[in-house]
Structure 1
Amino acid sequence: MCSCFTLFIVLYLLNMPDESFGEMFTSMLSVNQAVSAERKLIDHLIIYIEHEAQRLEDIKRFFSRVTSLHDGIYNEPSDPIANPIAAFKLVKRLKSEWLNVVHSTEAEENIKVLREDYRRMESSLPKLEDLRGAAHGLMRLQDVYNLHVESLVRGHFQQISDPVDFYKLSVSDMLSGDDCFLVGKVAYDLEDYYHSVLWFEEAVRLFRGTEWSPENEGTLEDALDHLAFSHFKTGNISHALSLSRELLLHDPMNRRVHFNVEKYEKLLNENLPATSSGLTLKRPDGIYLRTRNAYEQLCQTKGSQPKHFENPSLFCDYFTNGSPALFLQPIRREIISLQPYVVLFHGFVTQAEAKNIRKYAMPGLRRSVVASGMNQATAEYRISKSAWLKESAHEVVGKLDQRITLVTGLNVQPPYAEYLQVVNYGIGGHYEPHFDHATSDSSPLYRLKTGNRVATIMIYLSPVQAGGSTAFIYANFSVPVVQNAALFWWNLHKNGQGNVDTLHAGCPVIVGNKWGMFKNKNFHKVTCTAVTNIVHPKIIILSSSTHSPLVQILFKFFSYVQHNRTYTEEWWKPLLYILYFDLYNGCQWLLFFNILQKILFCLHPKKETHKSLELF
């Protein structure tokens, strides 16, 4: 019965259509939902076991009754068949009762019910793509954090260069030989023999020390076979030969293995190079090989970086940004770096706000995409799910927009900023080194005509026990996840050119469920052709996020005056004073005189007023 049920599960997963791609592995929320799905399967399995237990109890009772008859009445020295009642019951049992036991369909009915329950839940269960994605997640953690595979198999996160665990779990779980075989098989199918060797070796070690279970997909013979070929592909022919000979002890009639043994022996006799058993495995090159070492070193770094203690210009303070709204309740600011300018605002959101953001983002989570030429596509170097929230989604979105404006002085309303993007990372979820700003004219950002991304703010909505830091590759520092804090940096220089020092990455999450507003508010520098008629058709003013709230209020005030035709000389001088200190002292002289002259000429076209500009 058990093997029948297991066989069905395995065959179902193996024969799943390729086009049915699951993306459960890209989000820990989806993984949590899988936990709920398995609980339901457990409930169905309990019912199945109860029915099967009752069926077996009935069979045991029948067995007990029949054996007691043979031990009793049929074991009498006198002829047992002389008793007509006993003879009748014997005939009846053999003709009817034994038939019911042998040909009972109750077992088939029980397993049929379980299979139907399983099929009803199949849309919420992991797909083959999820199994592959989860395996890649383990290999990613192995690589980025330099973890020892054997310790990882035992449920520990121990680095090869450090005997102390990178992080200790309160409750750990171990991988079986079959688990290791499946991880190795994923790498093997991609011809990634570096990882397949390491994981198949663990599979062989564990299979040797345990008995095969019917729910296993792999066997010791399978692991030996795949490990031998993986060693052959990496040039370790002598070890491939040794493993193949061991495999023949378990499967002496396997012609293919006999052929491999002959081939390996011939290659060794020819004294071909790279046949030593002491070869060092070489890790395959990644997409970002040039920055890989720096990226991984930063991800492995815990806490603050040494540069934080060497630079006296870095400090912490209570920050108001000159805003009256923050005067009585300033925000805690930590200057992380000056080049690039990176700052961490502690306690930027409350627990309740973070919970609401996660709640309203959940239904809209979809696989995160990256720029691919002029289009967008999913990629292995970004494993997460994202959702976009408008201000109408919940009042907390509007509050966060206002808070971001207060601490940055930037206009975060569309079209000058993107909508709030909420991200949930998956198994080993990460985002490899990238720029937030566009580096090519073919970027979708330019196609949307929203301008390039000037700045980024990222808010951490959940704690992470290990991993998940934000690493700035060229600037050589990383920032660990700080729950409810917001990380802010400028992507562009003042001249509009991209700052290469903002190349950053989201390190893989080792332990935890990482939620963040990753790249959630991207402030756009609007091109000179993107103009808005603010006051009058004759007055064209650049609608840029660089305008302070004072200038924006001033524009609205002039618009009101023009509409009501109440312009007088008594109050325009204080307004010029505000404009003077906001733009003129900010060294934006050309914009100051251009805006001032056009506004005054339109609202009060007198020569005296126009000439007054020369005296200001």
Structure 2
Amino acid sequence: MCLIVLFFLCVTTVCVCVCVFCQHSFHAKVSDLHTELYEGPGTAMANPLVAFTLIKRLQSEWLNVVYSNEAVENIQALRSSYEEEEAELPKLEDLQGAARGLMRLQDVYALQVGSLVRGRFQRVTNGQPIDIIMPAVSVLLSGDDCFLVGKVAYEQGDYYHSVQWLEESVRLFRGTGGGWSPENEGTLQDALDHLAFSHFKTGNVSYALSLSQELLHYDPMNGRVLQNVEKYEKLLVAASPSRSNGLRRPTSNHLRTRDTYERLCQTQGSQPMHFENPRLFCDYFTNDNPGLLLLPVRREVLSLQPYVVLYHDFITDSESEDIKGLAQPGLRRSVVAAGVKQEAADYRISKSAWLKSSSQSVVGKLDQRISMLTGLNVKHPYAEYLQVVNYGIGGHYEPHFDHATSPSSPVFKLKTGNRVATFMIYLSSVEAGGSTAFIYANFSAPVVEVNTTIIFTSITYVGEAVKMLKDQITATSAMGFFFFF
């Protein structure tokens, strides 16, 4: 059996411009960004930091400006224009999801928060900061940007991340004199307040006391903070001198495999096994099918146990765009099997839609091509309908089995049997990351190019790979199909 994980550093975002009057400073900031970023290279939205700040501006900053007391001039026109566009703008859950996506990228790729704040994607290797990607377009994060990310972590009880992001928020707010702008989500006092409690929760009581005392400098009559100061002082007097345990990452449902899949994602398919096994090869493949004789598929065998193969340029650009267009209206939050039901889960962050081959010609043609390539009957119920999956900022699927492992799984109610193989097509590339990691086989397959297909077996047996797939398919077996963009 093969355990897989998908992790994408990518973003799909729609920019909506709201033409309204606003305060000069905020208007100037937005105008500069549109000139420098959004009207420049089309790759701007591929940068998760740029995407996060855009979502924050559309969901939070515009909201704060529109309904602030300072927006007295043309207030009605401002609010009316905003409310006309509000339904199309990102929601609070989109903003929180983008913040969690940044933290997820931080963890999986071991990125330094201080570097992210400066618009760099760096991790420390052998004591030296290394850029894992150099975006064509970048953006600096503000103290308020960092505060929002830290606040999202704080509200989840995730003090490992809240400390790191709120430290940067406090530093940046201090650097600007703690000034306040109507579009901001928080202030220096807010950041100090959240940071102090975060340090208290991680065991760093002395620093929590110091931050709380600084906060009292700005708000000396804050009764709650005064109580916290008294509490921290008593704890320090009563406790024997000891060191803080330091920051620890939150526990995971997949703690045993977390280090492995993060290492595989970081190395992005550069494991040496591909070059050491003489049984792995590349060729032009027809599967002895007359339909492929004049147009063979470029095949790259990555692994035999489990059987994992890449097929390059399996579909055309126009087919890719057609599929994305068909799926876009039906995209919904992806769900996973949970006992006898299906529900959304934090370990699978994506949106998905299902396409039936009988209703759309491009899907029917694709089914036929897949059947020629694999020799399998891919019509329902012998295979699932085609699933199109969209991964946003830091979208991912943590370690999981691609086939059902519980007899009570909903998949068995469909009378189609368990998955024996999965056929995935990448509909877009990514700036960095995006690997499919096979945990127990200890290798990962990178997203090398758009329209590449990867096929892998979910339940493996000894035998020649292609013959194995043909022989195992029965009236009660199923094959899973996915598109990713």
Aligned residues: percent identity? 66
Change in Cα spacing, 1:27 to 1:304, as seen in structure 2 (3 Å) is: closer
Please say if residues 453 and 524 of structure 1, whose CA atoms lie closer than 8 Å, have aligned partners that are also in contact. Answer: no
Q: Cα offset for 1:114?
A: 2.4
Q: Cα offset for 1:445?
A: 0.9
Alignment partner, residue 260 of structure 1 = 228
Point out the more displaced range, 143-152 or 206-215: 206-215
Which residue, out of 160, 180, 184, partners 1:216? 184
Listed one character per residue, the Cα deviations across residues 197-251 of structure 1 (whole Å, up to 9, x for unaligned) are 1111000000000133222121111111111111111111111111122222222
Correspondence list, 1:309-324, <5 A: 309-324=275-290
Change in Cα spacing, 1:380 to 1:525, as seen in structure 2 (3 Å) is: farther
Larger radius of gyration: 1
Q: CA RMSD in A?
A: 2.4
Please say if residues 451 and 524 of structure 1, whose CA atoms lie closer than 8 Å, have aligned partners that are also in contact. Answer: no
Change in Cα spacing, 1:393 to 1:174, as seen in structure 2 (3 Å) is: farther
Change in Cα spacing, 1:524 to 1:241, as seen in structure 2 (3 Å) is: farther
Alignment partner, residue 526 of structure 1 = 475
Cα distance in 1 for partners of 2:115, 2:72 equals 43
Listed one character per residue, the Cα deviations across residues 418-445 of structure 1 (whole Å, up to 9, x for unaligned) are 1111111112111111112111111111
Correspondence list, 1:6-25, <5 A: none
Q: Cα offset for 1:545?
A: 8.3
Q: Cα offset for 1:163?
A: 0.8
Letter in 2 for 1:446: F
Alignment partner, residue 401 of structure 2 = 435
Cα distance in 1 for partners of 2:473, 2:333 equals 24
Query: Given the alignment of the two structures, is residue 140 of structure 1 paired with residue 104 of structure 2, yes or no?
Result: yes
Point out the more displaced range, 160-169 or 224-233: 160-169
Alignment partner, residue 203 of structure 2 = 235
Which residue, out of 471, 482, 487, partners 2:454? 487
Please say if residues 10 and 431 of structure 2, whose CA atoms lie closer than 8 Å, have aligned partners that are also in contact. Answer: no
Letter in 1 for 2:447: V
Listed one character per residue, the Cα deviations across residues 129-173 of structure 1 (whole Å, up to 9, x for unaligned) are 222211111111111111100111111111133512111111111
Please say if residues 282 and 300 of structure 2, whose CA atoms lie closer than 8 Å, have aligned partners that are also in contact. Answer: yes
Please say if residues 347 and 398 of structure 2, whose CA atoms lie closer than 8 Å, have aligned partners that are also in contact. Answer: yes
Q: Cα offset for 1:524?
A: 6.6
Letter in 2 for 1:270: A
3-state DSSP of counterpart to 1:164: strand
Q: Cα offset for 1:45?
A: 3.5
Point out the more displaced range, 153-162 or 165-174: 153-162
Cα distance in 2 for partners of 1:298, 1:466 equals 13
Letter in 2 for 1:491: S
Cα distance in 2 for partners of 1:545, 1:177 equals 51
Query: Given the alignment of the two structures, is residue 269 of structure 1 paired with residue 218 of structure 2, yes or no?
Result: no
3-state DSSP of counterpart to 1:468: strand
Letter in 1 for 2:173: F
Letter in 1 for 2:398: E
Change in Cα spacing, 1:180 to 1:136, as seen in structure 2 (3 Å) is: same
Change in Cα spacing, 1:27 to 1:174, as seen in structure 2 (3 Å) is: closer
Alignment partner, residue 149 of structure 1 = 113
Query: Given the alignment of the two structures, is residue 115 of structure 1 paired with residue 79 of structure 2, yes or no?
Result: yes
Cα distance in 2 for partners of 1:381, 1:201 equals 27
3-state DSSP of counterpart to 2:215: helix
Please say if residues 297 and 314 of structure 2, whose CA atoms lie closer than 8 Å, have aligned partners that are also in contact. Answer: yes
3-state DSSP of counterpart to 2:210: helix
Cα distance in 1 for partners of 2:345, 2:241 equals 38
Point out the more displaced range, 410-419 or 160-169: 160-169
3-state DSSP of counterpart to 1:348: coil
Which residue, out of 44, 65, 76, partners 2:20? 44
Listed one character per residue, the Cα deviations across residues 102-132 of structure 1 (whole Å, up to 9, x for unaligned) are xxxxx97932132123223222222222222
Q: Cα offset for 1:389?
A: 1.2
Alignment partner, residue 49 of structure 2 = none
Letter in 1 for 2:371: T
Cα distance in 2 for partners of 1:254, 1:28 equals 42
Identify unmatched segments of 5+ residues in structure 2.
1-8, 28-70, 463-471, 480-485
Cα distance in 1 for partners of 2:417, 2:436 equals 25
Q: Cα offset for 1:452?
A: 0.7
Change in Cα spacing, 1:115 to 1:163, as seen in structure 2 (3 Å) is: same
Identify unmatched segments of 5+ residues in structure 1.
1-25, 53-106, 496-522, 528-543, 547-616
Cα distance in 2 for partners of 1:234, 1:524 equals 53
Q: Cα offset for 1:403?
A: 1.1
Letter in 1 for 2:225: V
Cα distance in 2 for partners of 1:414, 1:180 equals 48
Query: Given the alignment of the two structures, is residue 182 of structure 1 paired with residue 158 of structure 2, yes or no?
Result: no
Please say if residues 370 and 377 of structure 1, whose CA atoms lie closer than 8 Å, have aligned partners that are also in contact. Answer: yes
Change in Cα spacing, 1:163 to 1:172, as seen in structure 2 (3 Å) is: same
Correspondence list, 1:291-330, <5 A: 291-330=257-296
Please say if residues 10 and 394 of structure 2, whose CA atoms lie closer than 8 Å, have aligned partners that are also in contact. Answer: no
Correspondence list, 1:377-416, <5 A: 377-416=343-382
Would you identify which runs of 4 or more consecutive aligned residues in structure 1 move more than 6 Å?
none
Change in Cα spacing, 1:108 to 1:256, as seen in structure 2 (3 Å) is: closer
Cα distance in 2 for partners of 1:307, 1:108 equals 65
Q: Cα offset for 1:486?
A: 0.6
Which residue, out of 342, 349, 366, partners 2:332? 366
Q: Cα offset for 1:475?
A: 0.6
Please say if residues 333 and 345 of structure 1, whose CA atoms lie closer than 8 Å, have aligned partners that are also in contact. Answer: yes
Cα distance in 2 for partners of 1:493, 1:432 equals 21
The structure with higher relative contact order (CA 8 Å, sep 6+) is: 2
Cα distance in 2 for partners of 1:111, 1:209 equals 31
Listed one character per residue, the Cα deviations across residues 307-358 of structure 1 (whole Å, up to 9, x for unaligned) are 1111111111111111122222211110000110100011111111111111
Letter in 1 for 2:422: T
TM-score normalized with structure 1 length? 0.64
Letter in 1 for 2:328: M
Q: Cα offset for 1:286?
A: 1.0
Cα distance in 1 for partners of 2:116, 2:230 equals 36
Listed one character per residue, the Cα deviations across residues 256-301 of structure 1 (whole Å, up to 9, x for unaligned) are 2222222222221223464x3x642111111111100001111101
3-state DSSP of counterpart to 1:121: helix
Please say if residues 315 and 451 of structure 2, whose CA atoms lie closer than 8 Å, have aligned partners that are also in contact. Answer: yes
Correspondence list, 1:443-522, <5 A: 443-482=409-448, 483-494=450-461
